[in-house]
Structure formats: C-alpha cells, structure tokens
Structure 1
Amino acid sequence: MGTQVSKQMQRRKAISVEKKTLTDLHGKSGDEFPGSDYRSPDRKNWMSGLDPQKIHINQIVWPGTHDSATNKIGVRFISRPFAQCQSLSIYRQLIRGARVLDIRVQENRRVCHGILMTYSIDVVINDIKKFLAETQSEIIILEIRTEFGHQDPPDFDKYLEEQLGEFLIHQDDHVFGKTIAELLPKRVICVWKPRKTPPPKAGGPLWSAGYLKDNWIDTDLPSTKFESNLKHLSEQAPVSNRKFFYRVENTVTPQADNPVLCVKPVTGRIHVYARLFIAQCISRGCADRLQIFSTDFIDEDFVDACVGYTHARIEGKA
C-alpha cells in the first residue's frame, strides 16, 4: 500500500511540474503568431471565406478532432467520462470548423473507442452529408480505421464508396499541390485504414493509411506530449514537399496507473496551449511542417488559431 501511495504522489508531482513548465513557457514566450488575431466571421464556411481559388491543400492548417464520434459513447455519467473525447455531434463539429475527423469502427459498423461503442457509422455519414449539402467549398478529411482489437467491417470499402461516392476526391499525389477550387465539386478525402483486409488501391476513391501519418505519444504528462509533438513534427519534410498528411494532436490521455481516469480533466492539462504550440513551431523553425492539428473537445478558439495561421500563409505572412 505504501509503495502505491508513494508512486501516486510522484505521479501527481510530475504532472504539477509539467503543467508549470508549460505555464512558464507561455509566460516567457507568449502565444502570438502571424494570424493569431484572426477571428473567422463564419466558421461553418471558413474555407469559402479564405477564397477557394487561393487556398492550396498543402497550405491549410487543418483543425481536427481526436476520437471524433464519442459524444454519446458508453453510458452517461458511468462509462462515458472515461472514453468521451468530444461533446458535440459530427455535424456540430463541422459547423464549428473542424475539417479532419478521426473515426474508429468495429466489425458491426458501430463506432467505438476501445471496448466501448456508440452509434452506427451511418450517423457519422449522415452528419457529413448534411454538412456538405449546406456548404459549397468546404473540404473534409475523413479518417476511418478499424479500432485496435477489433475486426474489419465486411465490405466496408464498398459501403464508403456507395455512401460518399459523389463527394470522394480520388487518391492522387497531385492533390497536395492543388487549390480547393481545382478539386471541387469533390469534397471528401476519405482515408480508410483496415487492419486485415486489403488497403485501398492507388488511384481509387479511398486513400490508404500511408497518406495520413502521426506519431502517437500515449501520456498524460502535458509538457512531455508538447515537446514530443514538436520533436516529431520537426523531423517531417515541409508541407510543400510532402505527399501525405501529418497530424499533431494537442491531447494527453488518462493512464491506468493514475487516479484521474476521466478524459476531460486529463486532456485539459494541455488543451489551453494550442496557440502556444503554433507559436513554438514558428520560434523553433518547424512551422512549415504543421498541417493537421487535432484536439479533444474542439472549441472556437482552437479553430480560429488554425484558420488564422492558414490565412497568414495564404497572404504570405507566414
């Protein structure tokens, strides 16, 4: 018992030290960057507002959500706090400005997060189609993967093609250098990551796993995650030379050996430092690598930070 108590005290001290490290960095360096004062007048149509004729796909800092379809996962007040990473529906996230979705599925086409599951993938697809019907120039990156420990849904590639066929942007390396206007009326880059079934074929309507990469750091220590994100990002090629999307996630995750297991208070340790991360990318010379930036519990300020830096890139200020 004494050993366990000592271990927990050490963990709490480590978390406290890491939170102070980020607070001190923020106080010393600030979180201003080119475009940081930008506030989108219409987050539902922010790509349209920046001019689809001017925005190249590789210029965008894509605001994304981590474990996107978990707003109703598990049982409310019982298991949900341990797995919920978003409080909004997919449609509401898109309205708020999210443009990258992270969806995990299991064999029966139900969305899941670990052992907990929620609604059918149909709910996600219908929300996306509703949003697409209400907008004209917004591009979405939809990542769907079979969750670890689960089997691939049968014929899932065919399902995605049937449901989203008219909107799907086909797998093509040239997409990264094109403007949004050049891709329209196609609107969805769908990355399908099965575990065992064959991956999408080159040139087809779905994109394979190699086109969306990240370096997932499983920790609840905010400064550790912040610095690891910067390190891995700095090792990537600049977006202008890259033929895949690279994601950084401004999240930390509960750990089994820590008494705090609910997602929201844990990820809150890093959530407020999204603007600081962009500012540090600039000061450390890796801002030209930043592309997809994802978060738990997405809010307007996070979206504005991403869109603001995108706007600065387009205007030649970043």
Structure 2
Amino acid sequence: MLTAKSSYKKKKHKNKRNKKENTFSTTVIMGSHLSKQAERRKTIHTEKKALTDLKTSGEQYPGSEYHPSDRKNWMKDLNPEKLHVNQIVWPGTHDSATNKIGFPLITRPFAQCQSLSIYNQLVRGTRVLDIRVQQDRRVCHGILVTYNVDVVVKDVKRFLSETESEIIILEIRTEFGHEDPPEFEKYLEENLGELLIHQDDNVFGKTVSELLPKRIICVWKPRKSAQPKAGSSLWSAGFLKDNWINTDLPSTKFDGNLKNLSEQQPVTARKYFYRVENTVTPVADNPVLCVKPVTRRIHGYARLFIAQCFEKGYADRIQVFSTDFIDEDFVDACAGLTYARIEGKT
C-alpha cells in the first residue's frame, strides 16, 4: 500500500518526466521549423540566382530600345489609326487600388501592392487595372480595406478627361471570401456609361480610333451574381483570363508563366485577353510576409521575360502584362513591344 509521501514522490517524478518530454518535443518542433526556413532561404537564393544568370543571355527584343516620349499618351503616340487592340501589350497593375490599404506601418505592408493612386498609375502608363471590392463597395485585399470604389471611378474619369486616345481595361471583381455589392452592374453602367466599350468579339480586331470616343473595356467579375450578358456594356469574366501561380519563388513563377503562356493561342487568334503577372507573393510558411521585399525578387525581370518569350517562340502570345509597384521601365517594356508589332518588326 502506497503512503501519501511515496505517492507524492511518484507524482512529482511523473510531472518532471512530462516536463522534460514536452521540452524535448518543443525543441524538436522548433528545430524542424528552423531547418525548414533555412531550406526555404536556400531555395529562394538559388531561384534568384537562376534568374540573374539567365539575364546574362540578354534582354533585347524587337522594340526594347523604344521609350515613349509621353507615357500619359503613349497609345496616342503610336497612332490610334494604326494600333489594333490585339496588337497592344497592355501594362497592368496587380491589386491596383491598394496604395492606402490598411494602416500605415502596421497592416499596410502586408497588403499594399501599389504605392501610386489610380490616377497616377494611369499617368505613368498603366492601362489595365485590377480592382477588388467587397459588399459595401469598398476596395479590399483579403480582410484589409481601403477607400470606396467611387475613388477609383473618379480617378479613371479624370485621366480620360485629360487624354484623347488612351484605352483602358478596368477589371473589377468581388474579392475572394466576400459578397457581391448589391446592384453593382447598374452602378458601373450609371457611372461609366458614356465611356464603356460594349462587349463584342469584333473589338479585338479593331483599331483604337475605331473604338473612340468609347474608352473603357470594363470586365465585371461577381462571385455569385449573374455575369454580364453578351452584347452588354460590361464584359464577363471569360474575356480576361490568367493562370495564377501562388508562390514566393521567383524562378518558379517565371518558368510557370512561360509554360502557361506557351499553351495560349497567338493574340490574333483569340477573342479574350490573357494576363501574365510578373509578381511573386508572400506565402504563409515563409517568415517574410510583406509584399515589397518579396515582389522585388522578380520585379526587375520583366524585360527578361519578354526576351525569353521571343527566344522560345511565344512572343506573339503576350498581351496583358501586370506587376506590383509599377514603374516607368515596365511601361516602356510593354509599349516597346507594342511599337514593334505596329511596325511589323515581330
């Protein structure tokens, strides 16, 4: 029969043993996690080096030396009477309306993909906008929110009022995990009506001048509401396609983009816009979760991507090319290839 004293000793010994086992398990888990992160850093370094090494093969392609004299009016400078819609390489922004999302220095670095306003992106040369909304018509990225979509519409209309021949693709979608804004199709038609280019397969073969004075191809992608009908003033989801690759590994994204693009038809043979995104994004199992340092891993390789498309025979398939934190060189890279197509150099 156990005495109270011996029972206490056994219980104390058991607790001590359990504590040691828990400490050992925690150490093993932490060690495994640190080992995994070390391996991730090694992989990222290897993939960054792969792109750096590939860059030595050259970034020249037809039109690569072209620079618009006025990025605000770069389509006009290429002659709207000669420029066909399916010749344009459209520079776009990913998560376009995130310049003021969340709280500065707290949540903003985790969701901000652009530092410029919509108006300033358009002035810089952006021609495809990616806008995510939630039920109350506020722009969002995941769970973080920013201004009302009215701000986007106002900036778009301001830009178009200051230019004559620039055509833009305005993609608006309900963000994943959110409900569609009520009567949003009606809202878009009422606010953009006179500027909207109606859904029509023939648009792809037309020149910019043939579309004027209409200026906006608006693609509305609701999650649950009905898609815009054929012939309406808005375009349905099937007219702007992409193959999203969710990774923070730059070479993986670069190679995946090339592969997906290789499976597309040439721009002259398809009746939809196809987008390639020159971005990598933070993923949950990586300690670096802020957008800017992650996207820098691929940001400088846009010209290399176009050059590789020529190398592999896919250059006639490039159409919408988007990026985070768009800059002048990215716009020039797209405008240059557009120029080469007009001049018959591709």
Please report the TM-score for the alignment, with normalisation by the length of structure 1: 0.99
Confirm or deny that 1:225 pairs with 2:249.
no
Question: How much has 1:191 moved relative to structure 2?
Answer: 0.1
3-state SS of paired residue (1:35): coil
Confirm or deny that 1:14 pairs with 2:29.
no
Confirm or deny that 1:186 pairs with 2:214.
yes
Q: Which residue of 1 aligns with 2:281?
A: 253
Confirm or deny that 1:76 pairs with 2:104.
yes
Q: Which residue of 1 aligns with 2:306?
A: 278
Question: How much has 1:186 moved relative to structure 2?
Answer: 0.2
Deviations 1:88-119 (A, max 9, x none): 00000000000000000000000000000000
Larger Rg: 2
Letter in 2 for 1:297: F
Cα separation, 2, equivalents of 1:267 and 1:30:
22
Q: Which residue of 2 aligns with 1:201?
A: 229
Cα separation, 2, equivalents of 1:201 and 1:255:
36
Confirm or deny that 1:109 pairs with 2:137.
yes
Letter in 1 for 2:73: N
Question: How much has 1:286 moved relative to structure 2?
Answer: 0.5
Q: Which residue of 2 aligns with 1:88?
A: 116
Q: Which residue of 2 aligns with 1:169?
A: 197
Confirm or deny that 1:135 pairs with 2:135.
no
Cα separation, 2, equivalents of 1:302 and 1:56:
21
Aligned length: 317
Please report the TM-score for the alignment, with normalisation by the length of structure 2: 0.91
Cα separation, 1, equivalents of 2:51 and 2:58:
11
Confirm or deny that 1:313 pairs with 2:333.
no
Q: Which residue of 1 aligns with 2:179?
A: 151
Question: How much has 1:34 moved relative to structure 2?
Answer: 0.7
Letter in 2 for 1:241: A
Cα separation, 2, equivalents of 1:145 and 1:78:
26
3-state SS of paired residue (1:149): coil
Q: Which residue of 1 aligns with 2:9?
A: none
Q: Which residue of 2 aligns with 1:123?
A: 151
Q: Which residue of 1 aligns with 2:15?
A: none
Cα separation, 2, equivalents of 1:303 and 1:33:
15
CA RMSD of aligned residues (A): 0.3
Letter in 1 for 2:227: P
4+ aligned runs moved over 6 Å, structure 1: none
* Structure 2, unpaired ranges of 5+: 1-29
Question: How much has 1:268 moved relative to structure 2?
Answer: 0.3
Question: How much has 1:166 moved relative to structure 2?
Answer: 0.2
3-state SS of paired residue (1:12): helix
Letter in 1 for 2:52: T
3-state SS of paired residue (1:257): coil
3-state SS of paired residue (1:88): coil
Deviations 1:104-163 (A, max 9, x none): 000000000000000000000000000010000000000000000000000000000000
Letter in 2 for 1:125: V
Deviations 1:35-61 (A, max 9, x none): 111111000000000000000000000
Question: How much has 1:172 moved relative to structure 2?
Answer: 0.2
Cα separation, 1, equivalents of 2:305 and 2:202:
29
Letter in 2 for 1:21: A
Deviations 1:148-202 (A, max 9, x none): 0000000000000000000000000000000000000000000000000111000
Q: Which residue of 2 aligns with 1:97?
A: 125
Q: Which residue of 2 aligns with 1:234?
A: 262
3-state SS of paired residue (1:191): strand
Question: How much has 1:297 moved relative to structure 2?
Answer: 0.2
3-state SS of paired residue (2:35): helix
Letter in 2 for 1:134: E
Cα separation, 2, equivalents of 1:102 and 1:47:
20
Cα separation, 1, equivalents of 2:58 and 2:40:
28
